[in-house]
């Protein structure tokens, strides 16, 4: 067992991090020169969604705290991976951005000496969601870190982080895990059959969390099937508008179901901490704190809804990619091999040029939702574009380059 076990198909990246851990151990022994090669105070781990960026950051943090360089069994490893280690700070957000107040608190902790004598490790799992003010607050701490502080920033791509931050970090890029590696992991950890494991691995397109969900939850598979039915139901303009409405409603329902599981617990915990419902006067700050929590929960629900929609759009894009594979006769493996007949029928009624325009329409829809276009408006334009085989439904405001 090792802290690196969850990093599926990332052997090159793991080798780099292991070498850095060896260098960090040499630093603790007071060595210099070649012995500490590969270790630095600031890292940026990038990779496609589901590739394991956050897992890599946590595993690296655990290895730095472990006397055996990441055995995965000791108390340091277990607490570091879970976020309970006193010298490992894990920051992630379920909101749309990481606020400057959160970063200032992280910077304050980063300036402290490690309590157990090894390293103070700060893992920012959503560095792409740092606001400009938050990035400015973080910059000085990364430029001039404390002697035993290590920063680990995770983001989808290096371009998602402001230049002043990324230029001061060592970049480590994760790859999309191979289908075979994901299928093997699913078979081994979930004890499922090869057919289901390979289906989930292909359908997830390298997203480990998505692969696990598809492999063990029939409801998740059914939701995906309904999304993939959309292209075959676009027979007229009315069907396009109905399909867009169904996609939005399904995303809202899924996000609401997920939110309800945590919202009530968070509110109950906050009320207990504020003394709401106990005897005596209601704390003066209670209403403001509860209002702030409600605002955060609404923002989180909005992000979860966006995430569900984006996942649906990725599945649609994969379907049209398969159509293009069939139309061009490239011989590439189909992501949706179980829909081979339907894909062939869809491809026979259109041209490769139309399929490319449909893929562009989906990509434009993803950009539109990310740019805060109303999801229903973006999806209606997309479904009309899919029906008509064009991608010029509307003009999408482009995100400013950082």
pLDDT digits (tens, 9 = 90+) for 88-124: 998 887 666 788 888 888 899 899 989 886 899 999 9
Within a 10 A sphere around the Cβ of 41, how many other Cβ atoms?
A: 18
Counting beta carbons within 10 angstroms of the beta carbon of residue 343, is it exposed (0 to 12), middle (13 to 18) or buried (19 or more)? Answer: buried
- Give the confidence band of 402 by pLDDT, cuts at 50, 70, 90: very low
Structural tokens at position 67:
């006397």
- What is the pTM for the complete model shown? 0.79
Higher pLDDT pick, 29 / 12? 12
Position 261 scores a pLDDT of 76
CA-angle at 387, arms to 384 and 388, nearest 5°: 85
Does the domain at 10-173 match CATH 3.40.50.300? Answer given as yes
Rounded (10°) CA dihedral 354, 358, 364, 370: -170
HSE at residue 117, side-chain half, CA atoms within 13 A, is 3
pLDDT at 282: 59
Confidence band (pLDDT; 50, 70, 90) for 15? very high
pLDDT 10s digits, 16-32? 999 999 999 998 888 88
The mean pLDDT value for 202-217 works out to: 93
What whole-number distance in Å separates Cα of residue 145 and Cα of residue 23? 18
Average pLDDT value for residue range 226-246: 95
- 103 CB neighbour count, 10 Å cutoff: 22
pLDDT given at position 53: 92
Tell me what pLDDT residue 401 has. Answer: 40
56 closest CA partner among 91, 116, 93, 8? 8
Mean pLDDT of all residues belonging to the chain? 88
**5-19, 126-140, 188-202, 254-268: least confident range:** 254-268
Alpha-carbon distances, residue 297 vs 267, 288, 311 (angstroms): 10, 14, 21
The CATH code belonging to domain 237-251+293-389 is 1.20.272
d(CA 33, CA 235): 68
């Amino acid at each position: 067992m090792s802290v690196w076990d969850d990093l599926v198909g990332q052997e090159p990246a793991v080798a780099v991090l292991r070498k850095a851990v060896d260098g960090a151990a040499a630093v603790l022994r007071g060595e210099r020169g070649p012995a500490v090669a590969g270790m630095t105070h600031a890292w940026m781990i990038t990779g496609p969604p589901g590739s394991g960026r956050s897992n890599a950051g946590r595993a690296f943090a655990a290895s730095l705290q472990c006397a055996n360089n990441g055995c995965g069994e000791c108390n340091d490893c277990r607490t570091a991976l879970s976020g309970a280690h006193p010298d490992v700070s894990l920051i992630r957000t379920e909101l749309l951005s990481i606020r400057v107040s959160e970063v200032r608190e992280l910077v304050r902790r980063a300036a402290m000496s490690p309590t157990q004598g090894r390293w103070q490790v700060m893992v920012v799992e959503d560095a792409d969601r740092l606001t400009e003010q938050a990035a400015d607050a973080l910059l000085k701490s990364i430029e001039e870190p404390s002697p035993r502080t290590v920063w680990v920033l995770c983001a989808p791509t290096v371009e998602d982080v402001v230049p002043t931050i990324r230029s001061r970090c060592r970049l480590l890029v994760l790859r999309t895990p191979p289908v075979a590696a994901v299928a093997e992991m699913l078979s081994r950890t979930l004890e499922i059959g090869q057919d289901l494991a390979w289906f989930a691995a292909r359908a997830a397109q390298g997203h480990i969390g998505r692969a696990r969900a598809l492999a063990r939850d029939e409801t998740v598979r059914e939701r995906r099937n309904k999304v993939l039915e959309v292209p075959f139901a676009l027979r007229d303009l009315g069907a396009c508008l109905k399909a867009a409405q169904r996609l939005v409603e399904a995303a809202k329902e899924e996000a609401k179901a997920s939110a309800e599981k945590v919202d009530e617990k968070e509110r109950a915990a906050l009320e207990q901490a504020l003394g709401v419902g106990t005897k005596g006067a209601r704390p003066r700050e209670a209403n403001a704190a509860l209002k702030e929590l409600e605002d955060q929960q609404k923002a989180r629900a909005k992000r979860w809804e966006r995430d569900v929609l984006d996942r649906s759009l990725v599945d649609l894009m994969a379907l049209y990619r398969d159509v293009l594979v069939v139309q061009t006769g490239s011989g590439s493996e189909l992501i949706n091999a179980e829909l081979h007949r339907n894909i062939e029928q869809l491809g026979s009624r259109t041209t490769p040029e139309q399929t490319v325009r449909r893929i562009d329409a989906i990509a434009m829809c993803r950009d539109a939702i990310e740019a805060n276009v109303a999801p229903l408006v973006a999806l209606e334009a997309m479904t009309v574009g899919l029906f008509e085989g064009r991608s010029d439904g509307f003009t999408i405001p482009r995100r400013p380059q950082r």
